[in-house]
Structure 1
Amino acid sequence: MGGLSIKTLSLSHFRSHRSANLDFDGRPVALIGANGAGKTNLLEAVSLFSPGRGLRRASPDDFSKRPESIGWKLRTTVVGLGGDHELETWAEPGEARQVRVDGKAATQASLGRVIRILWLVPSMDRLWIEAAEGRRRFLDRMTLSFAPDHAELSLTYEKAMRDRNRLLKDQIVDPHWYTALESQMAEAGAQITQNRRAALARIARASTGDTAFPRATLALSEPDESDLLTALADGRRRDLAAGRTLAGPHRTDLAAVYTVKGVPADQCSTGEQKALLISLILANARALAEDIGHAPVLLLDEVAAHLDEDRRGALYDEIVSLGAQALMTGTEAELFRGLSGRGRLIRVSDAGGQSQISSQEDI
């Protein structure tokens, strides 16, 4: 089973990289360099070939290299669904991000129909103890990997909800103003919830079997809103008082339990919480490999530094077994010794505030 993969990557005036060109061969890649050298910026560049705002959730202007701020551009060739594709994304100063697929203007959502990308970054380490918004984003990234149309549904729902919230803040009480918006929210919201539940069921089926990482049992924590249209209509008086919509899938939370111990994730140790996250990313990758016949691209930022040698080896073994291309970052090559003979090493260095690719070699 082959994996989806990045074949080439070109960056122009992106973050700390004025110009960079990289070639990949589908194997796992270790990006090595000192903190601040620009390793994570390369992962972020790849993440922008997936729908959304990338692994840092930044705005287009934030990607532009300082102090020039003349805009930025990324180009990649990928082994994607249906064959090879050329993808481009860029933004001029103050403008929205643009996308081209095989030379034709496209939407961000269309990227999910070409290639599937999953990521795990240090900011997600607090996922189980932070506010519910972060867990919803994590849930929707998983869901999007199975259902590329999930992004468009979410945009439809959020736009209708913003318009409804504007009416609420303006204290509009005439029901005719709400009817169409609430119908849009109910239709999109029902599909969003259905997609989320299907994704969790798929993750659960892929979480069985022997693994070095603990299994997490996931569940949605949501109010009983089987008829969202009625809930929205009945809740207008309450929502008018609050000035915002208080019912719908934007209020859903994701709960996780360390399966073997029966302990909620937010009560687990820091190390256990990290291991549960890795387990979920790997389960997501296994499920996709089974469903679409190709493993997704994995972006794993500083993941090796938090694992002992045995677990690092187990992670690399599972990535290779999946046939997945994983781009991983670390400060030293020793962290990736367990990949010996099965991956590539790319050294990234800082030269006066500008990132450079120092060398590319086999591990």
Structure 2
Amino acid sequence: MRVTSLRLGDFRNYAEIALRFESSFVAFFGDNGAGKTNLLEALSLLSPGRGLRRATYGDMVRQGGSGGFFLRAAIVSNDTPSDIVSQIRPDPSGLGSRTVKIDETAARTSEELLDLLRVLWLTPAMDGLFTGPAGDRRRFLDRMVLAVDPAHGRRASDFERAMRSRNRLLTEGRLDDSWLSGLEAQMAELGVAMALARAEFVRMMEDMIHKAAADSPFPVARLELASGYEALELGGAAVDAEDEVRQRLRAARHVDRAAGRTREGAHRADLQVTHAEKAMPAALASTGEQKALLIGLVLAHARLTAAVSGLPPILLLDEVAAHLDPGRRAALFDLLGALGVQAFMTGTDASLFDALGDRAQMLKVSGGRVGPDAA
């Protein structure tokens, strides 16, 4: 699994740029604000969704440019080359939708990208994951699940759509039983499916973390899922869980109407992480320990993704080396090499990647230019 080239037009601070990648390790280095993270963001658009910043597409368009942007990437997946084009056409409203073509054929949805490659990332914005709101951890969990279960994204979006419709009917006082019952049946089926997929993923991650613990320089994390459904039995038949959820939703209509929201469901799930050796919630660990726990989780997820999908993922690691001591930094690079992934990394100084030696392609980023000697 490799990205071999990337071409951008009117994306962030890049008017037009074409890059070729010749290594499993690609390191972008340069001053803050030079555009290093913009390159990782472009690569993250080779997966479903709005990329690693979760920005609107209008925010990705270069100021003073055409009003749209495009990216073209050449990849090799299972020894088969493919060409991916992702584009936002100029739209005065700034709300343009993304189109994706794979080998010149329009994709019906961006989820088709998961047939070719899996893209995982770690960014400084994720450093507050353990201490931040549950919604951040839920999005982190769902993106991890999506990499091993491509249907999860569609289930989640359909669930959110049904829930919004139910909330709107309740808020407007339109208590038509047939409409509400239909939406609640859909929410029950999708919500239970989401809860089961998350639970199975957490179980597989726990197994993967345990297997890799002896060879990892990063602390071991223990994971526990709060499903969003209080005291709901998920170990039996799914149809029984769906029936119970449907009954709960029906009984909660008036309370949910007063609250202006659905108070229980898959949208309330949370991922609870513990520093296993210290038996300490990750939220109470030091900043350095939290960063190390997060790196360990991303590495375990990369192993699991490769094992389940057969596709060693592309890893995007933004400013990860700066937070590690030299020994742990070198160990991280060796682990990435052993995983067989392609890793794109950023840092302010080329010396952060010294432990890679000649394994890395070093690209300096400066003023919208990228290359070994960009100026």
Q: Deviations over 1:164-211 (max 9, x none)?
A: 111122122232220111111111112111111121111111112320
Equivalent position to 2:64, from 60, 63, 67: 67
> How far 1:114 moved relative to its partner?
1.5
Structure 2 partner of 1:120: 122
Equivalent position to 1:215, from 220, 230, 239: 220
- Letter aligned with residue 263 of structure 2: L
Structure 2 partner of 1:357: 370
TM-aligned CA distance change 1:263 to 1:75, over 3 Å: same
Consecutive unaligned residues in structure 2, runs of 5 or more: 233-240
Q: Tell me, in whole angstroms, the C-alpha distance in 1 between the residues paired with 2:206 and 2:19.
A: 36
Which SS does the other structure have where 1:341 is aligned? helix
Q: Tell me, in whole angstroms, the C-alpha distance in 1 between the residues paired with 2:50 and 2:78.
A: 22
Q: Tell me, in whole angstroms, the C-alpha distance in 2 between the residues paired with 1:180 and 1:360.
A: 61
Structure 1 partner of 2:204: 202
Aligned 1:144-293 pairs, distance under 5 A: 144-208=146-210, 209=212, 210-222=215-227, 223-225=230-232, 226=241, 227-293=244-310
Consecutive unaligned residues in structure 1, runs of 5 or more: none
Q: Deviations over 1:79-102 (max 9, x none)?
A: 225732211111122321111112
Which SS does the other structure have where 1:133 is aligned? helix
Q: Tell me, in whole angstroms, the C-alpha distance in 1 between the residues paired with 2:69 and 2:200.
A: 37
User: What is the number of equivalent residue pairs in this alignment?
Assistant: 354
Are 2:45 and 1:48 equivalent residues in the alignment?
A: yes
Which SS does the other structure have where 1:173 is aligned? coil
Task: Calculate the aligned-residue CA RMSD, in Å.
Answer: 1.5
TM-aligned CA distance change 1:360 to 1:161, over 3 Å: farther
Aligned 1:337-352 pairs, distance under 5 A: 337-350=354-367
8 Å contact from structure 1 (residues 81, 115) kept in 2: no
Q: Tell me, in whole angstroms, the C-alpha distance in 1 between the residues paired with 2:145 and 2:176.
A: 36
Which SS does the other structure have where 1:217 is aligned? strand
8 Å contact from structure 1 (residues 90, 97) kept in 2: yes
Structure 1 partner of 2:236: none
Are 2:102 and 1:101 equivalent residues in the alignment?
A: yes
Q: Tell me, in whole angstroms, the C-alpha distance in 2 between the residues paired with 1:187 and 1:126.
A: 32
29-38 vs 197-206, which moves further:
197-206
8 Å contact from structure 1 (residues 44, 56) kept in 2: yes
> How far 1:103 moved relative to its partner?
1.1
8 Å contact from structure 2 (residues 127, 291) kept in 1: yes
Q: Deviations over 1:65-91 (max 9, x none)?
A: 012252000111112257322111111
8 Å contact from structure 1 (residues 345, 360) kept in 2: no
Q: Tell me, in whole angstroms, the C-alpha distance in 2 between the residues paired with 1:16 and 1:70.
A: 13
168-177 vs 316-325, which moves further:
168-177
8 Å contact from structure 1 (residues 344, 360) kept in 2: no
Which SS does the other structure have where 1:207 is aligned? helix
- Letter aligned with residue 7 of structure 1: T
- Letter aligned with residue 326 of structure 2: E
TM-aligned CA distance change 1:82 to 1:196, over 3 Å: farther
Q: Deviations over 1:90-127 (max 9, x none)?
A: 11223211111121111111112211010000000000
Q: Tell me, in whole angstroms, the C-alpha distance in 2 between the residues paired with 1:174 and 1:52.
A: 34
Q: Deviations over 1:293-341 (max 9, x none)?
A: 3320000000001110011001000000111100000001100011112
- Letter aligned with residue 268 of structure 2: R
218-227 vs 295-304, which moves further:
218-227
> How far 1:146 moved relative to its partner?
0.3
- Letter aligned with residue 84 of structure 2: L
- Letter aligned with residue 324 of structure 1: V
TM-aligned CA distance change 1:257 to 1:104, over 3 Å: same
Which SS does the other structure have where 1:213 is aligned? coil
Which SS does the other structure have where 1:85 is aligned? strand
Give aligned-pair identity as a percent.
44
- Letter aligned with residue 105 of structure 2: K
Q: Deviations over 1:208-230 (max 9, x none)?
A: 23200011111112323433212
> Which TM-score applies when normalising by structure 1?
0.94
- Letter aligned with residue 40 of structure 2: L
